[in-house]
Amino acid sequence: MDMHCHPALKPYGRSIKHGRENKRNRNSRRSIWYYDPPTPKDKIFNYLGTVTKFSQSNFTSLAKGDVKIISACLYPPEKGFFSLNNNQGILTDLALNFVLEFGIPRINEIQNYQDYFKDLEYEYDFYKQLDGKQIRLDHGRYQYSLTKTFGNIIQNLDNAGQNIISVVFSIEGAHVFNCGLDNPAKENEVLGNVAKVKNWDHRPLFISIAHHFYNELCGHAESLSPLLKEFLDQSLGMNTGFTDLGLKVMHDLLDNSEGKRIYIDIKHMSTRSREEYYNIIDSEYQNEPIPIIVSHGAVNAWKSFDDRQTQIPDSAGKFKEIDINIYDDEIVRIFDSRGFLGIQLDERRIASEAELKQSGGRLSRRKILFHKSRLIWNQIRHIAEVLDKYGKFGWSTAVIGSDFDGIIDPINGYWTAEELRFLDDYLLKHAYNYMLGDGKNLQLGTNRNIDPEEIINRFMYVNAYEFLERYY
């Protein structure tokens, strides 16, 4: 199961000059089923320049990886990404298209955006076009199903005669409500768009308020790589808190008076915004089940916003020590709220430079898969040890939130959703070795005596399944 991926981002972009049609022909680059695994040349581009010139979460790759349930993230890209050093000429367009493969018409459309919300509705429609339509793949007939409730997922799983991938929607960045553009946002329009999304047939389960650029709602965390910072400026609004409009959007999303609550994903929020959000949840929603959600993220191994010390000795030096990653006290909060922390399969977020270097340098495919999977295992282990330190069950919080097709630098060897079936096997090796050694030192019996296979089953599937069972 994958709680954060972007299957439509590339095919939808390529469809712009063709009526935004999601082609049923899976051999078309405008189809959400278009299979585009990395070639040797693609892998070289990724090794040398962290450029991902292939599709990671198309539905064919998901089918090959035996992924049964996904949270498909709707995301109209922000204009800020499409102006390199304030230039938007043909050379800029060509450079962006080389990296993103959206197609020049899509890049020009984004550069001239006047309405994020309209684009959100178009992408939503792109998914609806092939909802429930069977596609013949090399290994059988498959379909995806847009769900409305957990009951729909159960029906799809129980339908033994069909290969069905259940889709739960989420949204990345509340700029989608049409704010953060060239002119100041109109409050009535923004709040009206929130109401429209809450009335969709397939209402998103959660949405992140912040993303890479200021959206007039809340401050964002620094997120761009050193290379991108040479060309893009995300400093406006960075590390600030909520605005008055942002608070109204947040409260409208959480309003459950009609049973249509949409939960908040804290990913990309600045630490100040996160702290303000937690205070609001504690003071205004203390008697309501509001899960803390990190759809795609990683730990930084710091104790808290105010104490940047590593309290788990074995974690020292292993993780990316940046604010966008999750602090230990937030891990405890996520557990207590029965939320989840999605581990993203992005080398730029998941490990320190030293740990990345130590995991590399292998030529054997098996060794690559084993050592690279350790980067993910380190995340699972740290979360478990933090929770164990506070007397809590350590293995119920981490899930997969790959961010596939979200313009990431994938962990080498685990290029696409197709390789998730191998991730299961190699993580089990790490869990088995851990439980024979350091795992014996966990203080809580339920953490110490668990079977390694259950640990990995929980990460790959069970934790996310139980979250959906509670909240969807």
What sections of 318-451 are H helices per DSSP? Answer: 328-336, 347-350, 353-359, 365-389, 420-436, 445-448
pLDDT at residue 85, as a whole number: 64
Q: Is the pLDDT of residue 243 over 70?
A: yes
Residue 314: DSSP 8-state = G
Indicate the fold that domain 2-471 takes in CATH. Answer: TIM Barrel (3.20.20)
Given the structure tokens 């197709």, which residue do they identify? 418
Q: Cα(472)–Cα(469) distance, rounded to whole angstroms?
A: 6
pLDDT at residue 54, as a whole number: 92
pLDDT at residue 283, as a whole number: 97
Per DSSP, the residues of 54-88 read S-SS-HHHHHHTT--EEEEEE-PPPGGGG-BTTB-
- Helix, strand, coil percentages (3-state) for the chain, rounded to 5, are 45, 10, 45
Q: Cα(321)–Cα(331) distance, rounded to whole angstroms?
A: 15
- Which tens digit of pLDDT belongs to each residue from 189-230? 999 999 999 999 999 999 999 999 999 999 999 998 887 888
CB 177 within 8 A of CB 194: yes
Q: Cα(462)–Cα(1) distance, rounded to whole angstroms?
A: 9
- Which tens digit of pLDDT belongs to each residue from 353-390? 999 999 987 889 999 999 999 999 999 999 999 999 99
Q: Which of 393, 388, 386, 222 shows the shortest CA–CA distance to 303?
A: 386
User: Which has the higher per-residue pLDDT, 171 or 226?
Assistant: 171
For 254, other C-beta atoms within 10 Å of its C-beta total: 17
pLDDT at residue 431, as a whole number: 98
- pLDDT band at residue 92 under the 50/70/90 scheme: low
Residue 465 contacts by C-beta under 8 Å, 6 or more apart in sequence? Answer: 1, 69
- pLDDT band at residue 265 under the 50/70/90 scheme: very high
Given the structure tokens 């293995």, which residue do they identify? 395
pLDDT at residue 156, as a whole number: 97
What sections of 218-338 are H helices per DSSP? Answer: 226-229, 244-254, 271-284, 328-336
Coil, strand, or helix at residue 263? strand
Arithmetic mean of pLDDT over the chain:
94
Q: Is the pLDDT of residue 454 over 80?
A: yes
- pLDDT band at residue 441 under the 50/70/90 scheme: very high
Q: Cα(358)–Cα(390) distance, rounded to whole angstroms?
A: 30
Is the sign of the CA dihedral 214, 217, 220, 225 positive or negative?
negative
- Which tens digit of pLDDT belongs to each residue from 284-337? 999 999 999 999 999 999 999 999 999 999 999 999 999 999 999 999 999 999
Q: Cα(249)–Cα(235) distance, rounded to whole angstroms?
A: 23
The mean pLDDT of 224-245, rounded to a whole number, is 91
- Which tens digit of pLDDT belongs to each residue from 392-402? 999 999 999 99
Coil, strand, or helix at residue 336? helix
pLDDT at residue 97, as a whole number: 64
pLDDT at residue 98, as a whole number: 67
Residue 112 contacts by C-beta under 8 Å, 6 or more apart in sequence? Answer: none
- pLDDT band at residue 102 under the 50/70/90 scheme: confident
Q: Is the pLDDT of residue 19 over 80?
A: yes
Q: Which of 342, 349, 350 shows the shortest CA–CA distance to 296?
A: 342
Q: Which of 206, 215, 157 shows the shortest CA–CA distance to 185?
A: 215
The mean pLDDT of 65-83, rounded to a whole number, is 93
pLDDT at residue 2, as a whole number: 98
Q: Which of 95, 77, 84 shows the shortest CA–CA distance to 10?
A: 77
CB 22 within 8 A of CB 58: no
Residue 316: DSSP 8-state = T
Residue 326 contacts by C-beta under 8 Å, 6 or more apart in sequence? Answer: 294, 297, 298, 299, 300, 334, 341
| Torsions phi, psi for 326 (to 5 deg) | -100, 135
Read off the tokens for 62.
Answer: 């998901």
95 sits in the region (left: phi over 0; alpha: psi -120 to 50; else beta) called: alpha
Least confident of 38-47, 321-330, 401-410: 38-47
Q: Cα(309)–Cα(315) distance, rounded to whole angstroms?
A: 11
Q: To the nearest 10°, report the CA torsion of 300, 302, 308, 314.
A: -110
- pLDDT band at residue 42 under the 50/70/90 scheme: confident
- Which tens digit of pLDDT belongs to each residue from 108-153? 989 988 899 999 999 999 999 999 999 999 989 999 999 999 999 9
